[in-house]
Structure 1
Amino acid sequence: MKNLKEQMALALVSIFLGLILSIQFKTINKTVGEGVLPTQRAQQLAVELKKIQGERDLQLKRLEELETKIKQYEKGEADKNVYAENLYKDTLKYRMLAGYVDLEGPGITLEINDPPIDLQFGEQYSPIVDELDIILQIVSILNAAEAEAISINDQRYTSYTEIVRAGDHIEINGVSTNSPIVIKAIGDPSTLESALAFKGGIVWQLENYDYIIHINQEKKIVIPKYRKIKEFIYSKPMEDGAN
C-alpha cells in the first residue's frame, strides 16, 4: 500500500514538472521564435543586418558607377562641338545649384557646442539641437552673404533639405545627428565671417547664452553632395508660350 502511494505521488510530481516545462517552452517560443534560442536569434539578426548593410553598400556603389557614366557621356559629348560643351557646362552648373555635386573651395567653418556642463541646469540653458530656428537663421544669413554651398554636420543643405527634431537629436536629410553642430559654407571667407560675427550678430547672441563657438576661415572646404533622390510626381515643365 505504501509503495502504491509513493508511486502515485511520484506520478503527480512528474506530471506537474511536465506542465511547468511545457509552459516555459511555449513562453520561450513566443519570445524568441519557435525552435530558436536567444543566442540563435541574436545570430540570425546579426546575419540579416549584415545582409541589409551589404545591399545598401551595393546600391551606393551602383549609384556612383551610374554617376561616373553620366559624367563620361556628358564629357564625351562636350568634346564634339562648342554647342555640346556649353550644354555640358550648363548642366554642371545646374547640378551644382541643385546640390548634386561634391564641391570644394574657400569658406568658413562654424562649430556650435552646448554650454559647459556646470551651466546646463540653469533656466536659460537649452541644447543647440533644440534651437532649430537659430540653425535656420544662420543658414539664411550665409545665403544672404552669397554662400555658394552650405552643409550642416556634413549634410548638404538644399531647397529640399528637411531639419526636424526627433527625440534628443535632430534629423537632417533623414540622417540623425546631435551637437556639436558644424556648419560649413563655401564663399568669400571674410564676407561670410563678417555676416555672422559682428557685434550684436548671431554669433554674439549665441555666446551671450554661453554656447561655445568656434569660427574659422578656411582655404579649402569640402561640402558633399545631396544624397536623396527627388522624384517629380505632380510637376512637369511648361511649354514655351503656355499660360
Structure 2
Amino acid sequence: MKKSNGRLAITMVSLFLGIILAVQFKTVNKTLGEGVLPTQRAQQLAIELKKAQEERDAALKALSELEEKIKLYEKGEAESNVYAENLYKDLERYRTLAGYVDLEGPGIVLEIQDPPVDLQFGIEYTIADDVDLILQIISVLNAAEAEAISINDQRYTSFTEIEKAGNHIEINGVSIGSPIIIKAIGDPETLESALAIKGGIIWTLEYYDYNVHLTKEKNVQVPKYRKLKEFIYAKPVEQDSN
C-alpha cells in the first residue's frame, strides 16, 4: 500500500512540475515574442503574468506538500528493516549531492551592487554585462570546497545555466537582476579568504566600481534545485558481472 501511495505521489510531483514549466514557457513566449508592445497589450500581459506567477506559486506549494508525503512513505519503508533504512540514508545523501535538498550551515554571504552611473559620460552598466565575474566567483567558491551555493536563492548545480538575457541574468530559467546575492555553505574562514585574497575576485569587482559586501555567517540557508532534469541520451554503464 505504501509503495502504491509513493508511486502516486511521484506521479503527481511530475505532473505539477510539468504544469510549472508549461506556464513559465507560455508566459515567456507571449512576453518576448511580440517585440515592442502597446500600453494596453502590456497591461494585459502584466495581468496574465501575475496570474501565471500565482498559479506557479500554488503549484510549487502543492509540490512541496507532495515531496513531504513521499519522504514519509520512504521513511516508513525504511523503518521496516535495516537494509531499507540504509537505502533511505543513501537516497538522502545523493539528493543532497544533486542539490534537491534545502540546506543550512555556516558560510558566507556576498552582495554585489551595480556601479554608479557615470553622469559625465552617461555610461551605465550592470552585473549582467559581467556574467563572467559571477562564473569566476562560483569557481573560486568551488575551489574553496563550498558545499552548497545559491545566487539570488537559485541553487547552483552542475545543471545550472548562467547567461545574459537582455538587462538581466538568466539562472535556472529565472531572470534575476541587481543586487546579486551569492550564498555559500562551508568553512567561513576559508571561503572568505578565497574571495578576499589580494588581487582576487573581490578586488576585481571593486576595481570595476561594484559595491561589494562580504560577511561570514553562522547559519546560511541555501534552497534546493527546483528544475527536473531528465536524461535522454545518457544511461548508466552496465557492470560486467564476471
State the AA in 2 paired with 1:182.
Answer: I
Residue 94 (structure 1) aligned with residue 80 (structure 2)? no
For 1:219, the equivalent position in structure 2 comes to 218
Change (3 A) 1:207 1:41: closer
The answer to whether the Cα contact below 8 Å between 2:111 and 2:181 also exists between their aligned partners in 1 is: yes
Q: Percent identity?
A: 73
Residue 34 (structure 1) aligns with: none
CA–CA distance in structure 2, aligned partners of residues 189 and 78 of structure 1: 35
Shift of 1:42: 9.8
Q: 1:73 is matched with which residue?
A: 73
Q: Secondary structure at the match of 2:170?
A: strand
State the Cα distance separating 1:73 from its structure 2 match.
Answer: 1.6
User: Are 1:197 and 2:202 counterparts?
Assistant: no
> For the residues of structure 2 that align with 1:42 and 1:135, how far apart are their CA atoms?
32
1:207 aligns with 2:233: no
In structure 1, the partner of 2:160 is: 161
Between the two proteins, the alignment pairs up a number of residues equal to 202
- What is the Cα deviation at residue 69 of structure 1? 1.6
Question: Do the aligned partners of residues 196 and 120 (structure 1) sit closer, same or farther apart at CA in structure 2, a change above 3 Å counting?
Answer: farther
SS in 1 for 2:205: helix
Q: Distance in 1 between matches of 2:72 and 2:158?
A: 27
The aligned residue for residue 109 of structure 2 is: 109
Q: Please say if residues 95 and 101 of structure 2, whose CA atoms lie closer than 8 Å, have aligned partners that are also in contact.
A: yes
Letter in 1 for 2:217: E
Is the Cα contact below 8 Å between 1:108 and 1:189 reproduced in 2?
yes
Residue 57 of structure 1 deviates from its aligned partner by 3.5
Q: Matched residues in 2 for 1:96 and 1:241: separation?
A: 29
Question: AA paired with 2:221?
Answer: V
Instruction: Give matches, 1:1-243, under 5 Å.
Output: 52-118=52-118, 121=121, 126-241=125-240
Q: After TM superposition, give the deviation of residue 164 of structure 1 in Å.
A: 1.4
The alpha-carbon deviation at position 169 of structure 1 amounts to 0.9
Distance 1:50 1:144, change over 3 A: closer
Cα distance, 1:155–1:47 mapped onto 2, change above 3 Å: closer
Q: Offset at 1:52?
A: 4.0
- For 1:186 and 1:55, how far apart are their aligned partners in 2? 31
> Alpha carbon RMSD of aligned pairs, Å?
2.7
Q: Residues 154 and 42 from structure 1, CA distance in 2 versus in 1: closer, same or farther, beyond 3 angstroms?
A: closer
- The answer to whether the 8 Å contact 1:108/1:186 transfers is yes
Does structure 1 conserve the Cα–Cα contact (< 8 Å) formed by 2:117 and 2:125? no
- Judge conservation of contact 2:106–2:188 (CA < 8 Å) in 1: yes
Residues 122 and 139 from structure 1, CA distance in 2 versus in 1: closer, same or farther, beyond 3 angstroms? Answer: farther
Shift in alpha-carbon separation, 1:203–1:86, aligned structure 2, 3 A: same
CA–CA separation in structure 2 for the residues paired with 1:41 and 1:196: 45
Q: Which amino acid aligns with 1:178?
A: G
Unpaired segments ≥5 residues, structure 2: 1-39
Runs (5+) with no aligned partner, structure 1: 1-39
> Deviation at 1:218?
0.3
User: Under a length normalisation based on structure 2, what TM-score does the superposition of the two structures give?
Assistant: 0.75
In terms of Rg, which structure is larger?
1
Contact 1:120 1:126 in 2 (8 A): no
Separation in structure 2 between the aligned mates of residue 109 and residue 154 of structure 1, nearest angstrom: 12
